[in-house]
């Protein structure tokens, strides 16, 4: 039985004060929500405040990115052990905005994924095709390459600890959601790739989230699909009541 994950990716939003306010508002709305992992991913500057505000609750905190080295002369970077030390339990890796604006490749995603695992974090690894790729029927190939290269050299035991987020790039922040059927088709392919590379059990246990304009009014249809194990939500995760209604889908 795969435990759902509802994760909010805050991107470049919220100060420390706004973060604490959000967590205080969210707490009572999700205090009885034991059916899923509830994860928020504030920016680096608000992680500590989020972790303190969420202490003793069922709200878990995630980084939005990390660097693969533990420490060194890498100005501006934050490492996986630093996030773990702070109290983060998850970290998003390879978000399409990182790939698009910050030059992330499948190889850097692989290094970051391994670093997250080594530090005891659960990586939420994002994969997904662009509109241009979908339009020329490249979705399957793109996802397979992202999967194979992103998870290169991982052991089966490593793979058990990973969460995958399928995020079609054309659906992120555009208001254009994949239909549940479109999402499921790719989720099934991802599960197949997982089976080929890591075996049946790892594939069965893999939690695959959908991301791309998930909102309170469309999450139910997505979560009704057997192969969709949760959501990675951007814009609609920024208000506590909206995020809570998705947690309580």
List residues binding ligand PEP (CB under 6 A).
9, 11, 167, 172-173, 211-214, 232-236
201 labelled catalytic: no
Least distance in angstroms from the C-beta of 72 to ligand PEP: 29
> 113 or 213: whose CB is closer to ligand PEP?
213
**CB-based contacts of 155: which residues, under 8 Å, 6+ apart?**
none
> 170 or 198: whose CB is closer to ligand PEP?
170
Least distance in angstroms from the C-beta of 218 to ligand PEP: 10
> 60 or 202: whose CB is closer to ligand PEP?
60
18 labelled catalytic: no
Least distance in angstroms from the C-beta of 9 to ligand PEP: 4
> 163 or 236: whose CB is closer to ligand PEP?
236
Which 8-state DSSP code applies to residue 237?
G
Of the candidates 244, 182, 181, 168, the residue with the CA atom closest to the CA atom of residue 212? 168
- Give CA–CA dist 66/173, Å, rounded: 22
Of the candidates 32, 78, 79, 84, the residue with the CA atom closest to the CA atom of residue 62? 84
Catalytic one among 97, 129, 133, 167? Answer: 167
Least distance in angstroms from the C-beta of 177 to ligand PEP: 8
> Residue 62 forms beta bridges with which residues?
90
Of the candidates 18, 22, 41, the residue with the CA atom closest to the CA atom of residue 209? 41
The two structure tokens encoding residue 98: 């990182």
Position closest to ligand PEP via CB: 234
Please, where are the H alpha helices in the chain?
A: 16-30, 44-54, 80-86, 96-101, 106-118, 131-135, 139-150, 156-160, 180-198, 200-205, 219-223, 240-247
> 159 or 234: whose CB is closer to ligand PEP?
234
Least distance in angstroms from the C-beta of 130 to ligand PEP: 14
**CA diameter of the chain:** 49
> 80 or 235: whose CB is closer to ligand PEP?
235
- Give CA–CA dist 60/92, Å, rounded: 13
Least distance in angstroms from the C-beta of 175 to ligand PEP: 8
Contact predicate 60/47, CB 8 Å:
no
Catalytic one among 52, 95, 149, 187? Answer: 95
Instruction: Cite the active site residues.
Output: 95, 167
């Amino acid at each position: 039985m795969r435990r759902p994950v509802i994760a909010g990716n805050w991107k470049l939003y919220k100060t420390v004060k706004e973060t604490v306010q959000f967590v205080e508002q969210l707490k009572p709305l999700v205090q009885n929500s034991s059916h899923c992992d509830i994860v928020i991913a504030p920016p680096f500057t608000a992680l500590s405040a989020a972790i303190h505000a969420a202490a003793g609750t069922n709200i878990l905190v995630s980084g939005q990115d990390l660097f693969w080295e533990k420490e060194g002369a890498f100005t501006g970077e934050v490492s996986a052990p630093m996030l773990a030390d702070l109290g983060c339990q998850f970290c998003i890796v390879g978000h399409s905005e990182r790939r698009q604006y910050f030059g992330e490749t499948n190889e850097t995603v692989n290094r970051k994924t391994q670093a997250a695992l080594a530090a005891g974090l659960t990586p939420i690894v994002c994969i997904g095709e662009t509109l241009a790729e979908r339009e020329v029927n490249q979705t399957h190939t793109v996802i397979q390459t992202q999967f194979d290269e992103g998870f290169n050299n991982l052991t089966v035991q490593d793979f058990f600890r990973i969460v995958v987020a399928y995020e079609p790039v054309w659906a992120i922040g555009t208001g254009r959601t994949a239909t549940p059927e479109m999402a499921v088709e790719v989720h099934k392919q991802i599960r197949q790739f997982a089976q080929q590379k890591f075996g049946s059990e790892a594939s069965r246990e893999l939690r695959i989230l959908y991301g791309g304009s998930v909102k309170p009014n469309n999450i139910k249809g997505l979560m009704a699909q057997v192969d969709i194990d949760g959501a990675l939500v951007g814009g609609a995760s920024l208000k506590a009541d909206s995020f809570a209604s998705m947690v309580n889908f």
